C-alpha cells in the first residue's frame, strides 16, 4: 500500500546518490493548517554548494504544496553552522528554537 503522506526525494548523478531528503505531512494545525516537515536533508560532502540541496528543498516544498500543506518546516542542530547558512540563503519566513527531551 502506498503512503502519500511521506516521501524520500533522491538526487543522483550517473546512478550515484549525491543527496536525499525525507518529507512528510504532519498534523493539521489550527494555527497553520496542514503542516509538512523535512526530516532529513543531506548532500554528499564533496557535492555541497552545487545546487543539490536547493533542488531537494525546492522539491520538498513542491511535494508538500501539492498535498495541501500551507507550511513546511525543518529542525537543525545548533552545531550545523554550514547548514544554517544554506537555510538562511533560502529566505525562510520564520525561525525558531526547538527543545527536546529523551524519554
Is residue 36 within 8 Å of 2, Cβ to Cβ? no
Asked: is 6-89 a CATH 3.40.630.30 domain? The reply is yes
Domain assignments of the chain as residue spans, ordered by start: 6-89
Q: What is the pLDDT of residues 70-98, one digit of tens each?
A: 999 999 888 888 888 888 999 888 888 77
Q: Of 13, 82, 87, nearest to 48 (Cα)?
A: 82
pTM of the model: 0.87
Q: What is the pLDDT of residues 7-53, one digit of tens each?
A: 999 999 999 999 999 999 999 989 889 999 999 999 999 999 999 99
The helix/strand/coil state of 63 is helix
Amino acid at each position: 500500500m502506498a503512503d502519500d503522506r511521506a516521501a524520500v526525494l533522491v538526487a543522483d548523478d550517473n546512478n550515484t546518490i549525491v543527496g536525499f531528503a525525507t518529507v512528510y505531512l504532519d498534523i493539521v494545525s489550527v494555527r497553520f493548517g496542514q503542516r509538512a516537515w523535512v526530516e532529513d536533508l543531506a548532500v554528499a560532502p564533496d557535492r555541497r554548494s552545487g545546487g543539490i540541496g536547493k533542488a531537494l528543498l525546492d522539491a520538498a516544498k513542491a511535494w508538500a504544496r501539492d498535498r495541501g500543506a500551507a507550511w513546511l518546516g525543518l529542525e537543525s542542530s545548533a552545531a550545523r553552522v554550514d547548514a544554517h547558512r544554506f537555510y538562511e540563503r533560502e529566505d525562510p519566513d520564520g525561525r525558531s528554537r526547538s527543545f527536546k527531551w529523551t524519554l
